[in-house]
Amino acid sequence: MSDRYASFAHTGPGRALVKRLGLPDPPRLRRHRPGDPLTTAQVRLDAASGGRLVEPLAKLLDSAGVEISGPAGGTTTPAGSTATPVGGTTASAGTATGPGDGAGSRVPPQAALLFDATGITDSSGLRALFDFFHPLARSLQPSGRVVVFGTPPESCTTPREATVQRALEGLTRSIGKEFGRGTTAQLVYVAPGAERAVESTLRFLLSGRSAYVSGQVVRIGRAEVPEVDWTRPLDGRIALVTGAARGIGAKVAEVLAADGAQVVALDVPAAGDALAEVANAVGGTAVQLDLTAPDAPLRLADHLADRHGRVDVVVHNAGITRDKTLGRMNPDWWDSVLEVNLSSQERINDVLLDRELIPRGGRLVGVSSIAGIAGNRGQTNYATSKAGVIGLVHSMAPVLAERGITVNAVAPGFIETRLTARIPLVLREAGRRMNSMAQGGLPVDVAQAIAWFASPGSAGVTGNVVRVCGQSLLGA
């Protein structure tokens, strides 16, 4: 599953050739390693006048040991900024100078640019975004982070406010495509009153855990967030991972275990040996079960009830493809894909919920696909099932919210696994390069996004479908 082109592009001659021919230039992405700090340099934080998030954000960053530059940190402010610092008075221009300022540019390298846009209530106020980002656009380190915070349009009090808050999406998605060098850019909508529920998402988006997540819109709602040990957020939690014998599922088991979870790894009996290896490696247990068997939900529920008395995190990762154009597709291929990827998950959720095996604070995480968003030739069955996973997230979120359980899904793009290694070369190269990172993602990228959803800190994160696709052009 090695990306030989990227390896070559990282060599001296490769770099020169890539530059001369204008070929895709895949950056080395900063990925999380245990013990890594959240950021590798200071973070610029600012707000449009009246922003309600800048103060809580500054406190969160401070308590996480992140150095803040700009008004909220009290050091510098971008030249010409119309933004208002914490405390309400506009600081004088500091060391930052903008693009086109040539040798005079003295903006120190920034790990992230964070902007609280919740104070913008009218389209004329959008200028604050330009004033903030324009002078700083070239100050970001490689694998830098851009996060704009807004108010969900549906929670806005006037049509004008809803209009400008929706406009923020255009900015962040474009920055993701424009800044390059592994920069990610996201829009985080924080509902009024949910200011304290932001921390798990802020930590995920700033860190190397979100290396391959870009151009996304995340919604955070009001929720009571418990105390979280951010080094082992899943300590004491029981996490079921289906399809855990290999690929993405095996990595999910590993990452959840590293975050402290006790993992129950499930896969088909035919994958028993590989499954046992994964379970042993993460200090978890293995369950050999075909999810499509009629008695699978009951057997699984009995197992979880007998062994653990509950399950806190359920990751529905098991999935199959049976690709053919619709007119040539065997009906069994349609049925089996829908059965594994969607129907079996619904049946399992129903039984686990009926028997109250998922307690308050529980987390359901689905694995969709960008094919479920954009559709894909030869994958009508797969795309239908994966769009169904998105439907499940949206339809179940309000129902489960009453029980204090969240439901979200990741939608991976091109991830380097055995599945994608089998794609013919030309298509494979297209899949790899046609995204803002000019490379495929790794199973760990998907696993880290799942771990973010699974965190007790993500109590306010529900009903979200977040793509782990390097901002793929497909379905954008």
State the residues that interact with ligand NAD by CB under 6 A: 242-243, 245-249, 267-268, 271, 290-292, 317-320, 340, 367, 369, 412, 414-415, 417-420
Indicate the residue among 374 and 419 with the shorter CB distance to ligand NAD.
419
Indicate the residue among 223 and 286 with the shorter CB distance to ligand NAD.
286
Q: Give bridge partners of residue 468 from the DSSP assignment.
A: 412
Nearest distance in Å: CB 449, ligand NAD: 12
Indicate the residue among 172 and 379 with the shorter CB distance to ligand NAD.
379
Nearest distance in Å: CB 455, ligand NAD: 20
CA pseudo-torsion sign 174, 469, 366, 286: negative
Evaluate whether 388 touches 340 at the Cβ level (below 8 Å).
no
Nearest distance in Å: CB 27, ligand NAD: 20
Give the C-alpha separation, 363 to 224, whole Å. Answer: 14
Indicate the residue among 228 and 245 with the shorter CB distance to ligand NAD.
245
> Which helix (DSSP H) or strand (DSSP E) does residue 468 occupy?
strand 465-468
> Which helix (DSSP H) or strand (DSSP E) does residue 274 occupy?
helix 272-281
Catalytic residue among 5, 189, 212, 382: 382
Count CB neighbours of 79 within 10 A.
18
Nearest distance in Å: CB 265, ligand NAD: 10
Nearest distance in Å: CB 12, ligand NAD: 31
Indicate the residue among 161 and 416 with the shorter CB distance to ligand NAD.
416
Evaluate whether 334 touches 381 at the Cβ level (below 8 Å).
yes
Give the C-alpha separation, 341 to 292, whole Å. Answer: 10
| Closest residue by Cα to residue 340 from 312, 366, 314, 311 | 366
DSSP result, 372-440: HHH--TT-HHHHHHHHHHHHHHHHHHHHHHTTT-EEEEEEE-SB-SHHHHTS-HHHHHHHHHSBTTSS-
**Known catalytic membership, residue 5:** no
Q: Which residues are annotated as catalytic?
A: 382
